[in-house]
Homo-oligomer: A and B are copies of this chain.
Amino acid sequence: MLFTIATIKAKAGSEAEFEAAAQELAKAVNANEPGCLQYVLCKGEEPSTFVFVESYKDAEAVEAHRKSDHFRTLGRAMGAFMDGPPSIQRLTAA
């Protein structure tokens, strides 16, 4: 099992717009990716900070996520409200 922890800072004043697009992405992932075991949007401790907690069955499922239409389209929509690129931790269940 593979985990991704993706930390994202939203632009100040754009938190609600970011969150709406990010929740739309979470819904699309959970509805369309059988290899994705969880895809949960969280709020972090710091202001304007969001974190996706994601887990996948295997590397193929991660690849299917990255190549999906919803990730490309909604990822672009979220990008407009982000303050810089996401910080990504990639983890492998021990």
B53 and A94 contacting across the interface, CB-CB below 8 Å: no
Task: In the complex, identify which listed stretch (A28-36, A42-50, A59-67, A72-80) lies at the interface while the others stay far away.
Answer: A42-50
> A interface, by DSSP: helix, strand, loop or mixed?
strand
Separation in Å of the A83 CB from the closest CB of chain B? 17
Closest to A53 in B: B3
Residue A51 is within 8 A (CB to CB) of chain B in the complex: yes
Q: List 20 A-B contacts (CB under 8 A).
A: A1-B40, A3-B51, A5-B5, A5-B89, A19-B94, A22-B94, A23-B94, A40-B93, A41-B93, A42-B91, A42-B92, A42-B94, A44-B89, A44-B91, A45-B90, A45-B91, A50-B94, A53-B53, A53-B55, A53-B91
Residues of A within 8 A of B (CB): 1, 3, 5, 7, 19, 22-23, 40-45, 50-51, 53, 55, 89-94
